[in-house]
Amino acid sequence: MAKAEIFAGVCGFYTRVETTSADDTVTIKVESDCAAIMKMAQELTEVNPFKEISSRRAVPATLQAGLKYCTHAACPVPVGIIKAIEVEAGLALPADAHIKVSKE
């Protein structure tokens, strides 16, 4: 099982993701403070991890769901879900990703 904990930023919402794999499928479980992300989670329950790691052939299902349900274009949750999918499928090592935003 791979997990991701995502703090989306100024909205203050936390999302917790758990992924498990069997064969060529990754199952996704999402708990979030955000109603839009929870709607997305109802549709995004399992994916083919190989289709999620590249957008050259088609837009990954996770990003499609993000475009459909997320109310903010810069929401980091869809990308965080993809990171957990990659790790669970053995397509990436588990390492934190960070975005640091400032204004001077």
- The residue extents of the domains of the chain are 2-88
- Written as six digits, the tokens of 69 are 């349900």
Q: Give Cα 30 distance to the centre of its chain.
A: 9
Query: E strands of 1-104, at which residues?
Result: 2-7, 14-22, 25-32, 46-47
Q: How many CB atoms lie within 10 A of CB 97?
A: 10
* 45 three-class SS: coil
- Written as six digits, the tokens of 67 are 């475009």
- Residue-wise pLDDT for 11-30, tens only, equals 999 999 999 999 899 999 99
CA gap 77, 36 in Å, rounded: 11
Looking at the predicted structure, is the pLDDT value of residue 55 above 90?
no
Looking at the predicted structure, is the pLDDT value of residue 54 above 90?
no
CATH says 2-88 is which class? alpha beta
